[in-house]
């Protein structure tokens, strides 16, 4: 496993070049929640309110092009047919750019259904090319293995 962290907004690209022998979800839960740091910043209600009150480009973390994330994901060498999941992806445009780049097994997970609705509406006809998960990442059981787990401005909340 390779974890490439970046300082701006707290970002990480977790790359599993081969089958992931680790169960990432229990690990996350142990590291972030058992220590008592799961609070309202991680609550569904909080985030739904944010995404219902504001336009996607009206939040401080908005990026018209997530250049650093794209660069880091390409740097992992992940193949176009391998799975990538954007954890806490919200309404980010990362998934649009990854589709444009030819990645075929994309997933976006977020605790806020309102956030994902923004992204789905924006993608229009391409919405079916992405797997969408409304879930708390600390309780998420992946349906299959992903080669890359990406997060930006999410895990630092815990």
Ligand X SMILES: C[S@@+](CC[C@H](N)C(=O)[O-])C[C@H]1O[C@@H](n2cnc3c(N)ncnc32)[C@H](O)[C@@H]1O
Nearest distance from C-beta of residue 53 to ligand X, angstroms = 13
Nearest distance from C-beta of residue 24 to ligand X, angstroms = 13
Q: What is the DSSP letter of 125?
A: G
Residue 95 CA neighbour count, 13 Å, CB half: 31
Which x/- pattern, by CB under 6 A, does the window 86-125 give for ligand X? --xxx-x----------------xxxx--x----------
Residue nearer to ligand X on the CB measure, 145 or 158: 158
Q: Alpha-carbon dihedral of residues 45, 47, 48, 49, nearest 10 degrees?
A: 80
Beta-ladder partners of 148: 15, 84
Q: How far apart are CA 45 and CA 74, in angstroms?
A: 34
Which x/- pattern, by CB under 6 A, does the window 6-45 give for ligand X? ------------------------------------x---
61 binds ligand X (CB under 6 A): yes
- The burial class, CB within 10 Å (0-12 / 13-18 / 19+), for 60 is exposed
Nearest distance from C-beta of residue 136 to ligand X, angstroms = 4
Q: What is the DSSP letter of 68?
A: H
Residues that bind ligand X (CB under 6 A): 42, 47, 61, 88-90, 92, 109-112, 115, 136-138, 152-154, 157
């Amino acid at each position: 496993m390779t974890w490439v962290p970046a300082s701006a907004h707290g970002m990480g690209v977790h790359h599993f070049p081969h089958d992931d022998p680790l169960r990432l979800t229990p690990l996350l839960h142990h590291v972030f929640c058992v220590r008592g740091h799961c609070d309202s910043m991680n609550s569904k209600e909080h985030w739904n309110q944010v995404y219902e009150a504001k336009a996607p480009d009206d939040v401080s973390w908005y990026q018209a092009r997530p250049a650093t994330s794209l660069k880091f994901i390409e740097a992992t060498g992940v193949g176009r047919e391998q799975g990538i999941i954007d954890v806490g992806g919200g309404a980010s445009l990362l998934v649009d750019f990854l589709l444009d780049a030819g990645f075929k097994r994309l997933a976006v997970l977020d605790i806020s259904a309102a956030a994902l609705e923004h992204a789905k509406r924006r993608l229009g006809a391409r919405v079916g090319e992405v797997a969408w998960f409304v879930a708390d990442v600390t309780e998420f059981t992946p349906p299959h293995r992903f080669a890359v787990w990406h997060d930006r401005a999410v895990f630092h909340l815990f």
